[in-house]
Amino acid sequence: MAEEPDTPVSSRTERKALEKAKILQRESDRKIFRLVGRVLKKPEAERSEEEAGVLLLHRDTVEELNKRQVRRNVLKRKQEEVFDDAEELKSKVRQLAVAVKQANHLVIYTGAGISTAASIPDYRGPNGVWTQLQKGRSVSSSDLSKAVPTFTHMCIRTLHKEKLVKHVVSQNCDGLHLRSGLPRHALSELHGNMFIEVCTSCSPVREYVRLFDVTERTSLHRHTTGRRCSHCGGELRDTIVHFGERGTLEQPLNWKGAAEAAKMADVIVCLGSSLKVLKKYACLWCMNRPASKRPKLYIVNLQWTPKDDLALLKINGKCDDVMSLLMQELNIQIPAYNRADDPIFCLASPLGPEEVKSHTREVLAPPTGQEDGSAEPEKQTEVTSVQGGWFGRGYGKGMKKKKKAA
C-alpha cells in the first residue's frame, strides 16, 4: 500500500503560501495606488509618455482614486458654513414666522449651535470639538460653568411662555435651557445635564441639582461622581449620555416627553444642530407616516444636514440672528437673561460639610442676597481649557473602533 501523504503539514504550508501571496498582493496594490496618485496630481500637460502609459495600464485604479476624490470634495462642501445674504435671510424668516403662527403643535430641536454665542464650541463646525480632535488638536474654550443662556435660549423660553412652542428637545448638556426658565416638563435633555447628578439606588431615582459641573471625575462608561446619596448612601452618578452610549434615565432625558411631542407635532424647527445624531432617533421624525402626514420641517444651521432634502425650508444663518429677525416678525419682546430669575439657584441641593471639597469646579455665584451652602465661589478667570467630564468624551474610542473596522 502507498504511504498516506502528510496532509496537515501540506495544508499548513498551503495556508502560509496563500497568506504570503495576499500580503505581497496588498503591497503591490499600495505601490500602484501611490504611483497612480502621484501621476494624477500632475497637470495633464506636464505628464510624460511613461506616466500616461501608467494611467492607461491601471484604469481601474485611476477610476477608484477619482471616486475617492469626489467623495472628499462632497464631504468638504458639507462641512463648509454657508450664509444666506441679508435679503434672503429676511425672506426666509418671514416664511418661518408664518409657520410658527399657524402651527398647532410646534416642537423645537436644538443642538450645540444655539450655545456658541455663550462661548461653548459646537461639535462639527470649523472650530468644533470633533473637527479639532480629528485634526489632532487640543480642545480649549471658556469655562463651561461661566456660560449663561443666549438670546436664542431666551427666545425659546418666551415662545413657550406665549404658548407658541409646546416642547423642546435638546442634545445639549450645558443646562442652559433649564437656566433660561424653560419648565422641565416642556424640556427633554436627551444627552443629560452637566449640573445634575442622581442616585439610581433610590426608587424613584433621586435627583440632585448642583451649582457646578458634576462631571469632573466622569467619562465614557464611568459615571460615578464621587459623592453619595444623602438618603440611602448610594453612589451618585452623572446624567450624561456619551458618544456611543444609550441613555436610560427618565430625567432629565425625558424621552417619553420627546416622543409624545414628536408624535403630536405639525411643525418641527431644528436650531443649530447637524442632525447627524438626532437623525438616528426614529421616534423623533415620524418616518413611518406618509410624507404628506409628517410634521413640516424647518432647519436653521450653517452647515449641511442629512435632513435638508426633507425640510420645507433651510435657513443658513446664525441662530441668534435668525431668532432676532423672527421675534421682530412675531412682534415679541425678549427679556435678557437675569441671574436673579435663574431657577437653578432654587433647584440646587446644597452639599454636606464633608462634600464641600469633593470637586474643584467653579461654582455658580448666586444672585446678590441669596446664599448657597454647596461651596464657596471661586474667583473667575477669563479662559480655561475644557478638561474632563462630558465635553468631547467618547470621540477617541469611537475613532479607534472605526480604524479597527477599516
Contact predicate 255/278, CB 8 Å? no
How much is the pLDDT for 267?
Answer: 97
How much is the pLDDT for 9?
Answer: 62
Task: Say if residue 202 carries a ligand binding annotation.
Answer: yes
Confidence of residue 62 (pLDDT cuts 50, 70, 90): confident
Task: Say if residue 286 carries a ligand binding annotation.
Answer: no
pLDDT at 386 over 70: no
Question: What are the extents of the domains in the chain?
Answer: 29-78, 86-346
What would the mean pLDDT of 47-73 be, rounded to a whole number? 87
* Percent of the chain clearing pLDDT 90 (strictly above): 53
pLDDT at 373 over 70: no
Interior/surface letters 127-157, b for 16+ CB within 10 angstroms, e for the rest: ebbbbbbeeeeebebbbbbbbbbbbbbbbbb
What would the mean pLDDT of 90-113 be, rounded to a whole number? 96
How much is the pLDDT for 400?
Answer: 54
Contact predicate 234/201, CB 8 Å? yes
pLDDT at 381 over 90: no
> Is omega for the bond preceding 204 within 30 degrees of 0, making it cis?
yes
pLDDT at 67 over 70: yes
Contact predicate 104/266, CB 8 Å? yes
Task: Say if residue 229 carries a ligand binding annotation.
Answer: yes
How much is the pLDDT for 6?
Answer: 54
How much is the pLDDT for 388?
Answer: 44
How much is the pLDDT for 367?
Answer: 78
Which residue is associated with the grid cell 406665549?
162
How much is the pLDDT for 249?
Answer: 92
How much is the pLDDT for 70?
Answer: 87
Q: What is the pLDDT of residues 84-96, one digit of tens each?
A: 999 999 999 999 9
Range name among 25-29, 134-138, 329-333 with the lowest pLDDT average? 134-138
Contact predicate 398/244, CB 8 Å? yes
Residue with the bigger pLDDT between 8 and 359: it is 359
**Alpha-helix residue ranges (DSSP H) falling in 42-143:** 49-57, 59-79, 86-102, 129-134
Q: What is the pLDDT of residues 269-288, one digit of tens each?
A: 999 999 988 888 889 999 88
Q: What is the pLDDT of residues 205-262, one digit of tens each?
A: 999 999 999 998 888 888 999 999 999 999 999 999 987 888 889 999 999 999 999 9
Contact predicate 159/200, CB 8 Å? no
pLDDT at 396 over 60: no
Active site residue 177: no
pLDDT at 292 over 70: yes
What would the mean pLDDT of 114-132 be, rounded to a whole number? 60
Q: Quote the mean pLDDT of the chain.
A: 84
What would the mean pLDDT of 52-60 be, rounded to a whole number? 87
Q: What is the DSSP letter of 208?
A: E
Instruction: Pick the catalytic residue from 160, 191, 223, 242.
Output: 191
Task: Say if residue 270 carries a ligand binding annotation.
Answer: no
pLDDT at 7 over 90: no
Query: Bridge partners of 348?
Result: 209
* Percent of the chain clearing pLDDT 70 (strictly above): 82
What would the mean pLDDT of 113-117 be, rounded to a whole number? 87
**CA–CA separation, 347 and 401 (whole Å):** 40
pLDDT at 345 over 50: yes
Q: How far is CA 12 from CA 18, 21, 22, 25, 264, in A?
A: 10, 14, 15, 20, 64
Q: Considering only CA atoms, which of 205, 248, 240, 246 is closest in space to residue 224? A: 240
Residue with the bigger pLDDT between 335 and 78: it is 335
pLDDT at 348 over 80: yes
Contacts (Cβ under 8 Å, ≥6 apart) of 237: 197, 198, 199, 200, 218, 223, 224, 225
pLDDT at 352 over 50: yes
CATH of domain 86-346: 3.40.50.1220
What would the mean pLDDT of 172-179 be, rounded to a whole number? 94
